[in-house]
């Protein structure tokens, strides 16, 4: 029987060119849209033995996995995917493998995008670009970063990369997370402060936490209310870490200067989603990890995982 592989959520239509899929003794189908409905996904995935996932674009809960008796292997890009019920996969006899990627040391793509959003906000770059194209000239007065305070919610690998860049701008770096120690903060070139002080003192706040039940809603309405009216918030981690409704309200009411958002609780955003009409924002469609360099790891290692599994010797096994 022919092995059938589904490569999901290839939004840009580039998965084929980034790896040697033809080297696999299998039939490979690439999907470029995003499905989230249970029945739609079951109908699409029933014929496949292997499903390749791009990060958390398609959720794989227990109910969906149980409805796919032919499925033998899931490969996710990265070694961590909160949208996959790994425990259920193991119970159902489905192997889950991963790849290297943006969670690994040396991958700076998300940190780079973070600063792209920060600079776009403080210098009003998107609006000024529109002004020039529409015949205008110099609409805004920007904000310099030197001497200002960056507040990091999370100081792991990505937060540390963002902190290093902040120091080149001459910024003071504050940091907080539930388990962060003063010594660890100093090692990363930051000052550990409590959560309330971080939100009250920082001129730019950037979120760098892993989404979990503990971190869901971690940035609350009360935290946002402590921010200066001149401060900005950037989220390149996961949408649900921030109370999105409270953030949109703060932006509509002008209680903070702006927000740069790359991640959303619902992705892709529906056409009529309120984020699309929220003022004082720079919005990007979850581009943090989307670079040529990252895909050059993701897709070839996905093919390696599939080949090893078909050879009976799985690698990079998560479950």
- Enzyme catalytic residues: 238, 267, 286
Residues 318, 305: contact at Cβ < 8 Å? no
Which ranges of 178-276 does DSSP label H, i.e. alpha helix?
A: 182-187, 195-201, 221-226, 244-252
Measured between alpha carbons, how far is 278 from 86 in angstroms, rounded to an integer? 36
Residues 177, 153: contact at Cβ < 8 Å? yes
Measured between alpha carbons, how far is 195 from 220 in angstroms, rounded to an integer? 11
Measured between alpha carbons, how far is 115 from 127 in angstroms, rounded to an integer? 17
Helix (H) or strand (E) holding 131: helix 125-133
Measured between alpha carbons, how far is 143 from 124 in angstroms, rounded to an integer? 9
> Could you tell me the sign of the dihedral formed by the alpha carbons of 150, 156, 162, 164, in that order?
positive
Measured between alpha carbons, how far is 288 from 318 in angstroms, rounded to an integer? 23
Q: In b/e form, how buried is each residue of 80-100, taking b as 16+ CB within 10 angstroms?
A: ebeebbbebbeeeebbbbbbb
Residue with tokens 């009003």: 124
């Amino acid at each position: 029987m022919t092995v059938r592989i589904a490569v999901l959520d290839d939004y840009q239509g580039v998965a084929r060119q980034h790896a040697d899929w033809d080297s696999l003794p299998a039939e490979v189908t690439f999907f470029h849209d995003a499905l989230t409905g249970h029945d739609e996904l079951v109908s699409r995935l029933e014929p496949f033995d292997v499903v390749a996932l791009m990060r958390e674009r398609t959720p794989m809960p227990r109910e969906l996995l149980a409805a796919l008796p032919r499925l033998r292997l899931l490969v996710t890009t990265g070694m961590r995917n909160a949208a996959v019920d790994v425990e259920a996969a193991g119970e159902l006899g489905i192997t889950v493998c991963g790849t290297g990627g943006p969670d690994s040391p040396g991958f700076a793509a998300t940190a780079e995008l973070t600063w792209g959003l920060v600079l776009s906000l403080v210098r009003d770059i998107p609006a000024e670009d529109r002004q020039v194209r529409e015949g205008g000239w110099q609409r805004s007065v920007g904000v310099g970063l030197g001497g200002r305070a960056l507040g990091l919610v999370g100081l792991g690998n990505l937060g540390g990369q963002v902190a290093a860049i902040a120091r080149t701008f001459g910024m003071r770096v504050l940091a907080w997370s539930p388990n962060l120690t003063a010594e660890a903060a100093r090692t990363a070139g930051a000052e550990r402060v409590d959560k309330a002080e971080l939100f009250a003192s920082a001129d730019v706040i950037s979120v760098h936490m892993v989404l979990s039940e503990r971190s869901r809603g971690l940035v609350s309405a009360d935290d946002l209310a402590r921010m200066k009216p001149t401060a900005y918030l950037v989220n390149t981690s996961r949408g649900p870490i921030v109370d999105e409704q409270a953030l949109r309200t703060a932006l509509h009411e002008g209680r903070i200067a702006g927000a740069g958002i790359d991640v959303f609780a619902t992705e892709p955003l529906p056409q009529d989603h309120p984020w699309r009409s929220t003022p004082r924002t720079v919005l990007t469609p979850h581009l943090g990890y989307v670079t040529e360099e990252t895909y050059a790891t993701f897709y070839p290692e996905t093919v390696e995982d599939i080949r090893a599994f078909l050879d009976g010797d799985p690698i990079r096994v998560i479950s």
